[in-house]
Structure 1
């Protein structure tokens, strides 16, 4: 299953001439949740995605991207689980799930983790690498901006 495409949902909402508040009420969600989802600031869970699609009167695939879920965090959210729920599935503390999803630490039994994320061990390893790479890219970009700011560049 693919992640929510906020721009596509917004375009559909505008096409039918409905405001954010009206669609949020129809979907049974808060206007801020819808606003943030459309702006890409928030990735809604499966239940909220279904509610938005139903309120728009379109199939679910019309408001999802065609790109696959890449990271462990994407996969966990796709399953509709919080970090605490995933930790309970695996038998670890929530902080461990957070660290693994950010690529900060490895695991002793990738097979158990893969099963919890409903992936093969190979898929889980690729998703963990993608998670780690995403965090590294974010940190590198922030460091560049900080250095530019210190030098007075724009």
Structure 2
């Protein structure tokens, strides 16, 4: 995903005067998990990112890189939900969440979907467009790669 900003998390931890071990204890994770997240070795799972943010006493958004267009998948990830859980929230099947999050399908009620993702309608539309653009970029890169190998 590449959105978790380990350097920012480390900076916040140091500003708070907290050791890796103390943060890990407060967050309910191992010190190695905190070190991996701060160094960028691994992107923490939503539960871990949420726990670190709570332990540092900051909003989860403080631990993520600014000025990046979030996709619907990113937003769901920040909420700590699986596709199945989001589907249950909205009242659709999981496959529908996958299609919408990839930007290959639209929705009838933007307001209902936006509410489920905790976004305004405008924010949801922007995240949906970012999702679609990301898929298009991946397809273009794969097409370019195949053409270059022929």
- Per the TM superposition, whether the score is higher than 0.5 is yes
Residue pair 2:69, 2:130 contacting (<8 A) in 1 also: no
Superposition pairs for residues 1-154 of structure 1, below 5 Å?
3-9=3-9, 26=25, 28-29=28-29, 31=32, 35=36, 38-39=39-40, 42=43, 44-45=45-46, 47-52=47-52, 60=58, 63-67=63-67, 70-148=70-148, 150-151=149-150
Deviates most, 23-32 or 79-88:
23-32
Query: Which consecutive residues of structure 2, in runs of 5 or more, have no partner in the other structure?
Result: none
Cα deviations across residues 51-86 of structure 1 (Å, max 9, x unaligned)? 44678xx55476432235521111111222111111
Aligned length: 143
Residue pair 2:6, 2:39 contacting (<8 A) in 1 also: yes
Structure 1 residues 34 and 132, CA gap change in structure 2 (3 angstroms): farther
TM-score normalised by L of structure 1: 0.68
Deviates most, 58-67 or 107-116:
58-67
Query: Which consecutive residues of structure 1, in runs of 5 or more, have no partner in the other structure?
Result: none
Q: How many Å apart are 1:134 and its aligned residue?
A: 0.8
TM-score normalised by L of structure 2: 0.69
| Whole-angstrom distance in 2 between the partners of 1:37 and 1:138 | 28
Q: How many Å apart are 1:33 and its aligned residue?
A: 9.0
| Whole-angstrom distance in 2 between the partners of 1:114 and 1:133 | 19
Structure 1 residues 52 and 116, CA gap change in structure 2 (3 angstroms): closer
Residue pair 2:29, 2:48 contacting (<8 A) in 1 also: yes
Partner secondary structure for residue 80 of structure 2: coil
Residue pair 2:10, 2:38 contacting (<8 A) in 1 also: no
| Whole-angstrom distance in 1 between the partners of 2:146 and 2:10 | 33
Structure 1 residues 38 and 134, CA gap change in structure 2 (3 angstroms): farther
